[in-house]
Amino acid sequence: MASNRTVLIVDDHAIIAAELEVVLGQIGYDVEWVVDLDAAVQALERRTFLLVLLEFRAEGSVSRGEVEALLQASGTRYGFITTASESEVNAASPKASTLSKPYTQTDLDAFLDTLL
């Protein structure tokens, strides 16, 4: 049985998703990209992912909290990529790893190291 090497990116900024896809691809991961929380739920219902990277302020008819509950229930690792303040993220999701935009390659590497 092949191991799951697919990361789901939930971000409405194509440039962010493309950059992450390149970086993750270079270290051997496949990437699926969706633009909102509704599409994320559909993707999560369709398959399992090794990791999910969510824009903290992603929108949809479902809430970020509902998506987090789904991820936690399935045991899927996840983290946030965001322009939100650290205090805002910690208040909403104190256990989640966070990468603040804009970020450096060093920041991204450290963030991925904590999650992969």
Q: Tell me whether residue 23 is in a domain.
A: no
Cα gap 28→82, rounded to integer Å: 24
Tokens of 31: 């990437």
Please report the pLDDT score of residue 95 as a whole number. 84
Task: Tell me if 101 is assigned to some domain.
Answer: yes
In a domain, 26, yes or no: no
Q: pLDDT confidence of 85, banded at 50, 70, 90?
A: confident
Q: The whole model's pTM is what?
A: 0.91
> Is there a domain that residue 88 lies in?
yes
The predicted pLDDT at position 1 comes to 40
pLDDT of 4 reads 86
Q: What is the mean pLDDT of residues 59-84?
A: 93
Task: Judge whether 68 lies within some domain.
Answer: yes
For residue 22, tell me if it sits in a domain: no
| Number of domains composing the chain | 1
In a domain, 87, yes or no: yes
Which residues constitute the domain of residue 96?
Answer: 31-115
Strand partners, 81: 55, 99
Read off the pLDDT of each residue in 33-45 and give the average, rounded to a whole number: 96
